A = this chain, B = another copy of it.
Amino acid sequence: MGLSMEKSLNHPLAVTPSLARIAAPVACVDIGGTKVAVSMADARGIRGRVTEATIKQGTREALGEQVLALIERSCAQAGLAPESLSAIGVSSCGPFVLNQGLIELAAPNICGGLAGAARGLPNDWSSVPLEAPLRKAFNNVRIANDCVAALEAERRWGALQGFDHCAYVTWSTGIGVGLCVDGRVLRGKHGNAGHAGHMFVSDNNDALCGCGNIGDLEALVAGNSMARRFSGQGYADAAALLSAAQSGEATAVGIVDELCRVMGRGLYNLVVTLDLQRISLGGSVFWNNRGYLLPRLQAEIDGRLPALTAGVELVAAGLKDKVGDYAALALIEP
């Protein structure tokens, strides 16, 4: 796998997605556990990018209001009138729940009511409205799980072009997954297929997930869990821990090896459950340390159950650190 991994790390963004077919401007909204980003896209390209820390205080309506305010700011920055927008594409962390048929977010890294006070989020929300406030302001709104949207983007423009059995996995504030089998993106009963970040792969009970689970994959390895788990050992956050590991500091190397063992098991589980060909990886934790992490993750797959894993490749996202921008666009681009 050494050679192809080298290749996959360095592959160029082969084709810059053509936006020429976008007649009227559209808004691309990316809601994560740490930040919300909004950009405008039209035939001239993607521009007017504004971001803010994801709001986690105030009323349950705060997040919807934040998204609408950011759309307005992004419009202003791009020199567009909000009335000129033909569609709003929203790529958001999940899971989603429906309230009177409209999507609300029950996201573990936003809603403090899911795991209770022990998790330290400054609210007791069990879900927050998203689709309702957006539909009040705009006619054409499409919301999808961020990793499902990113998977669509990677299949259209990135590292998953031509692969009918594949996944996109983000290793970021949380762990998210988008899945494609037999050429079809999986949705599930409420559009929540891909919440494999909340599966159990280890007996380690040392970490509380924002969803209330103890010791699931996200609780153990997600970016936001690293600070909680390892700050006592002198690593303030994921960046500090990964940086120490990359410089060869023995304790950090040991911790990151174990994180890769756990994350690698999650990826292996996806491969054997769905008979996948390729997994594309993104997200800030992965992207900023991809050269260090990728071979350690691949090692957790290679050699196990060859009938399923032979030839299976982990690769860095073809859309690079822009995968989030293109994810929302993939929902609305004609």
Interface residues, chain A, CB within 8 Å of chain B? Answer: 94-97, 106, 164-165, 177, 179, 181-182, 184, 186-196, 198-204, 211-213, 265, 268-270, 272-277, 304-308
Q: What residues of B have a CB within 8 angstroms of the CB of A212 in the complex?
A: 304-305
Sampled A-B contacts (24; CB under 8 Å): A96-B307, A179-B273, A179-B274, A181-B186, A182-B187, A182-B188, A186-B274, A187-B275, A189-B275, A189-B277, A193-B274, A194-B275, A195-B272, A195-B273, A195-B275, A198-B304, A198-B308, A199-B269, A200-B268, A202-B202, A202-B203, A212-B304, A213-B305, A269-B269
Closest to A269 in B: B199
A37 vs chain B, min Cβ distance (A): 24
Q: Which residues of B contact A191 (CB under 8 A)?
A: 275
Which residues of B lie under 8 Å from residue A306 when comparing CB positions? 106
**A257 to nearest B CB, angstroms?**
15
Distance to closest chain B CB from A122 (angstroms): 21
Q: A273 to B275, Cβ gap below 8 A?
A: no
- A106-B307, A213-B304, A265-B200 are known contacts. Are A188 and B275 too (CB-CB below 8 A)? yes
Dominant SS at the A interface?
loop
Q: For the complex formed by this chain, how many copies does it contain in all?
A: 2
Residues of B within 8 A of A211 (CB): 304-305
Known: A203-B204, A274-B186, A275-B188. A195 touches B106 (CB 8 A): no
* Complexed CA–CA distance, A268 and B308 (Å): 22
Extra 15 A-B pairs, beta carbons < 8 Å, given A94-B307, A200-B265: A165-B188, A177-B273, A181-B181, A181-B187, A182-B188, A186-B274, A192-B308, A193-B274, A194-B275, A195-B272, A196-B273, A199-B201, A199-B273, A200-B268, A211-B304
The answer to whether A193 touches B213, judged by C-beta atoms less than 8 angstroms apart, is no
